[in-house]
Amino acid sequence: MQRLLNKPENYVDEMLEGLYAASPDKVTFVNDDKRCLVSKYKKKGKVGLATGGGSGHLPLFLGYVGKGLLDGCCVGGVFQSPSPEQMLNVTKEIDQGAGVLYIYGNYGGDIMNFDMAKDMADMEDIEVRQVIAGEDVLSAPKDKADKRRGVAGIFYVYKIAGAAAEAMKSLDEVERLARKTCENVRTVGMALSPCIIPEKGKANFELPDGKMEIGMGIHGEPGIKLEDLKSADEIVDTMLEPILQDLPYKSGDEVSVLVNGLGATPREELYIVYRRVSQILKDKGIKVFNVYVGEYATSMDMAGMSISLLKLDEELKTYLKMPFDTPFMTQNQL
Amino acid sequence: MQRLLNKPENYVDEMLEGLYAASPDKVTFVNDDKRCLVSKYKKKGKVGLATGGGSGHLPLFLGYVGKGLLDGCCVGGVFQSPSPEQMLNVTKEIDQGAGVLYIYGNYGGDIMNFDMAKDMADMEDIEVRQVIAGEDVLSAPKDKADKRRGVAGIFYVYKIAGAAAEAMKSLDEVERLARKTCENVRTVGMALSPCIIPEKGKANFELPDGKMEIGMGIHGEPGIKLEDLKSADEIVDTMLEPILQDLPYKSGDEVSVLVNGLGATPREELYIVYRRVSQILKDKGIKVFNVYVGEYATSMDMAGMSISLLKLDEELKTYLKMPFDTPFMTQNQL
């Protein structure tokens, strides 16, 4: 894989300069720090929503900042956590008097830094709550669900919490809905190739031709095992089973489905994957409410994909249906 | 590159089955042929817009079928033209009494087949016009502009014509606006890697590590020359110059910019590219009206990108601002 870049050490900041230049009406930054990204859309009295995490996962994380989703994002280096100070800067900027909710993935560095930012915000009398998304079923067993990594399914937590905040729900309510979404979303991923981190210039792990790894994380965290590449249908069968067992599901349930590309896998193949997902769900009597197919949480130029299911009830559907608009994607009212 | 597929010969049809399953409210097919894709959105008396071309370029071509853009698309095999009969089927379905406009890229097979479809439609008393997009500056010199390939800039032709048709303009008017858009859009592309066609299972051309090719087409058509990989800024400088010279541009002009990823290149890098585009345009006094950054015309898992500029006037801006909604992307009113 060859890259379009200038100096590798400027990769993240030049990407941000490009984004601010491309979307001057939608996003900006605070404290003269490009990595403290905030939405230009503001609404007095609305709960502020912030996220953050390493770069290299676009549209995760900063691509979810915009009307109907999040208000701010702290941008780390490639696969690196942003700092507590950056998180505090964003927090202060997006607080509209109703408190701030942090939503981020279950990774040690992020937890440590968001915890510190929360403490600092407390001292400035900003009420901060935290919801940590961890829905990667194969990253830890069910009795250790709090160890599970956060991956593409975090999109649903942003979506539901973002819509609730936009509907002027209280911090308690937005937090409750974010937690409820976490409880109802499950993801399994798989990789067909590693990716190359710009500053390192080499693959972050080995994945030989003809092999795949189901359960692999978006930073190359090990999956179940390295095994021979199978057909798309067999792969989907293997991935969907642990998702459906974990919650569990029964006939008559309703879901939203997210088929997420990790970077290099063509959209064509994500639809081949969804084809099989829809067949399995139909066989089990599970109704599909809506579907997202595309790149929602990538890993540079990694080939592979993940499947996320959000189990819905009427309340979650109400918020899922609401529109959003960011520089990366737009949803009309469903 | 490894692929998610079942049998390579089913790649396109299974992709389509996945798409129809994922977007049952938006798209369907006619004549029991999945490759004859039409929008479920219909408006009596509206000019019908159709396109078509080979698969492997999503969201091109079928991803542009939806409200505010196109009404139908004929889907070929990977990098292969669809048939005249398929085009006729789509034409008959989308004709709402105001005639049909074909908009497609400047490739021999497509021209031959769309010409035949037009003749067959004439015999069924459906008035059909054609606009062939060819805006790849480096694929032919200015005095042979009719030989230029159609690449990502065709998005703008769909956008303007789609908005005009939605605004209930006549076939004459929609055709005029589509031609005007073609006259004002220019693209230059570059490749960092080849792609692998599923049924062939090997790269469609050679592009060694450390090399790039500016001017390369989306099927691997040769560019200017194979040369050493340069910095992103140097690459953008080299690409933008022939675009700006060709039209030409002067200070005070206004443009829309499309930075298109070919498949494997991360969105991060497309923003690094746009950063430099915006600097150059600013230096030249060219105003940016709006920007699209993402995947608009891909080539499977090819790494690389293209830059398109559409020179705007008040009329084109009016139609560019209008919203659209397809299974692949949504634009709110700008």
Read off the pLDDT of residues B93-149 as tens digits, 9 standing for 90 and up: 999 999 999 999 999 999 999 999 999 999 999 999 999 999 999 999 999 999 999
How much is the pLDDT for B202?
81
Closest Cα in chain B, distance from residue A69 (Å):
16
Number of domains in chain A: 2
Strand partners, B196: B203
Any domain includes B58: yes
| Cβ density class A190-224: b for 16+ within 10 Å, e for less | bbbbbbbbbeeeeebeebeeebbbbbbbbbbbebe
Find the CATH number of the domain harbouring A98: 3.40.50.10440
Q: Do A2 and B193 touch (CB under 8 A)?
A: yes
Q: Indicate if B160 and B214 belong to the same structural domain.
A: no
pLDDT tens digits for range B193-238: 988 888 888 887 888 889 999 999 898 888 888 999 999 999 999 9
| CB-based burial label for A22 (10 Å; 0-12, 13-18, 19+) | buried
Q: Which residue in chain B has the smallest CA separation from A294?
A: B328
Strand partners, A324: A331
Closest Cα in chain B, distance from residue A235 (Å):
9
Q: Is A47:A72 a contact under the CB 8 Å cutoff?
A: no
Find the CATH number of the domain harbouring A206: 3.30.1180.20
Q: Indicate if B132 and B103 belong to the same structural domain.
A: yes
Q: Do A56 and B209 touch (CB under 8 A)?
A: no
Any domain includes B3: no
Q: Is A120:A84 a contact under the CB 8 Å cutoff?
A: yes
Contact residues, chain A, for B193 at CB < 8 Å: 1-2
Rounded to 10 deg, the angle between the B154-166 and B171-184 helix axes is 150
Closest Cα in chain B, distance from residue A330 (Å):
6
Contact residues, chain B, for A199 at CB < 8 Å: none
Q: Is A77:A47 a contact under the CB 8 Å cutoff?
A: no
Q: Indicate if B151 and B292 belong to the same structural domain.
A: no
Q: Which of B2, B234, B288, B322 best tests the A interface by mutation, with the highest count of A CBs <10 A?
A: B2
Q: Indicate if A99 and A214 belong to the same structural domain.
A: no
Q: Indicate if A132 and A153 belong to the same structural domain.
A: yes
Catalytic residue positions of B, numbered: 57, 219
Q: Indicate if B272 and B320 belong to the same structural domain.
A: yes
Q: Which of B18, B267, B303 sits opposite A1 (nearest CB)?
A: B303
Q: Indicate if B38 and B172 belong to the same structural domain.
A: yes
Q: Which of A2, A18, A271 sits opposite B19 (nearest CB)?
A: A271
d(CA A140, CA B212): 42
Q: Indicate if A58 and A165 belong to the same structural domain.
A: yes
Q: Do B272 and A15 touch (CB under 8 A)?
A: yes
Q: Indicate if B225 and B324 belong to the same structural domain.
A: yes
Any domain includes A196: yes
Domain C-terminal end among B183, B206, B228? B183
d(CA A148, CA B317): 48
Question: Which of A219, A255, A263, A309 is labelled catalytic?
Answer: A219
Any domain includes A280: yes
Q: Which of B56, B264, B329 sits opposite A1 (nearest CB)?
A: B264
d(CA B310, CA A220): 40
Q: What is the dihedral of CA A153, A157, A163, A168, to 10 degrees?
A: 180
Any domain includes A140: yes
Q: From first to last of its 334 residues, what are the pLDDT tens digits of chain A?
A: 789 999 999 999 999 999 999 999 999 999 999 999 999 999 999 999 999 999 999 999 999 999 999 999 999 999 999 999 999 999 999 999 999 999 999 999 999 999 999 999 999 999 999 999 999 999 999 999 999 999 999 999 999 999 999 999 999 999 999 999 999 999 999 999 988 888 888 887 888 889 999 999 898 888 888 999 999 999 999 999 999 999 999 999 999 999 999 999 999 999 999 999 999 999 999 999 999 999 999 999 999 999 999 999 999 999 999 999 999 999 999 9
Q: Is the ipTM of this complex over 0.90?
A: yes
Any domain includes A101: yes
Contact residues, chain A, for B255 at CB < 8 Å: none
Closest Cα in chain B, distance from residue A18 (Å):
4
Any domain includes A2: no
Q: Do B4 and A235 touch (CB under 8 A)?
A: yes
Q: Which of B269, B291, B293 sits opposite A4 (nearest CB)?
A: B269
Question: Which of A57, A67, A148, A276 is labelled catalytic?
Answer: A57
Any domain includes B107: yes
Q: Indicate if B156 and B17 belong to the same structural domain.
A: yes
Q: Indicate if B114 and B63 belong to the same structural domain.
A: yes
Q: Do B18 and A273 touch (CB under 8 A)?
A: yes
Contact residues, chain B, for A55 at CB < 8 Å: 268
Domain C-terminal end among B183, B216, B244? B183
Could you list the residue range(s) of the whole structural domain that residue B33 is in? 8-183
Q: Indicate if A97 and A166 belong to the same structural domain.
A: yes
- Write the CB contacts of B173 (distance below 8 Å, at least 6 apart in sequence): B164
Domain C-terminal end among B183, B204, B219? B183
